[in-house]
Structures are given as C-alpha cells and as structure tokens.
Structure 1
C-alpha cells in the first residue's frame, strides 16, 4: 500500500552554484556520492525539472571521467538550470 509520500527523485549528490547560460554549463558542488560520465541525473528546483545523461565532466577546466564528494564540477546541460537547484543521481 503506498504511503502517500512522494518518492525522492534519486540520490542527492549536489547543488548548482553557477549557471553559464551562453555555454549551457552548470557548476555543481558535490555534497556526497560519486558522479561519472554516463550516469543519469535529474536536476530539480523551484522551476526546473529535467533528466539527462552526463556526457562530460570537468574539474578546473580539465576533463575527468568521475567526481566525488567535496569537488566542484563543471557539467554541460541540455536545458536551463538555476543556482540552488538540486542534482540527483538516478539509480
């Protein structure tokens, strides 16, 4: 029997700290967990809600295959995101 509580959209891994609209890149402060190229993510906020596959990650303008808690990462996005939006890893 459903509990009536909404299911979390995935594992919360970070929060958007910057959005560069011209190049469609967000900066994410990784709060916990690990994120790798090929993972599916959901970006959700007050007026944001979309999913996509991670196609590239950068740390300090250098391409990397994965990132972990505590790191600031650059991530190309397919749609607009906003500062404060949450980033979830879909499992």
Structure 2
C-alpha cells in the first residue's frame, strides 16, 4: 500500500540531501518514492538525520534530512511504498 508520508521543502545539491517535513512515520530501510512535476525517484532510506543527529525512525511533524540519489525539488511529495 502506497502512503503519502511527507513533502520536500529543500534540496541541498552539494551534499545530495532532501529536507522533508513528515506527515507520517518513516524509518531507515523504508522504500520511498519521491514524485513531482519533473521528479520520479524510488529508493531505500539509507540514513536519516535531524539537527545533525542520526535517526532510525521519525514521526509525523518531524523535519528530516535524507540522502537522495538524484535531484528533488521543493513541494515534491514523498510516498512510502
């Protein structure tokens, strides 16, 4: 079941990190799909951080940074596969 879990609010190209505001829970190891007007990226969450602290899990309302394999854009929607 595919479920919306957040939205990208920033992308940092030098380090390849997407900043995501969560509307659902997310864990390291989850399969995600980031979709937008020109974005279509599927990958596994390898690591997740908040305030430079490594996380295994994050919950609704958290803002997290996730290393991404390709460019994403603000307002792209994040789905959990």
Where on the TM-score scale, by shorter chain, does this alignment land: which range?
over 0.9
1:62 is aligned to 2:53: yes
Cα deviation for residue 66 of structure 1 reads: 0.6
- TM-score scaled to structure 2, two decimals? 0.96
Superposed CA deviations along residues 42-90 of structure 1, whole A, max 9, x for unmatched, are 0000000010000000011100101010000000000000001000000
Structure-1 residue corresponding to 2:6: 14
* Structure 1 runs of 4+ with >2 Å offset: none
1:26 is aligned to 2:8: no
- TM-score scaled to structure 1, two decimals? 0.86
- Which has the higher Rg, Structure 1 or Structure 2? 1
1:77 is aligned to 2:68: yes
Aligned residue pair count: 81
**Larger RCO, structure (CA 8 Å, separation 6 or more):** 2
What 5-or-longer segments of structure 2 have no aligned partner?
none
Match of 2:71, SS state, is coil
Distance of 1:59 and 1:19 partners within structure 2: 14
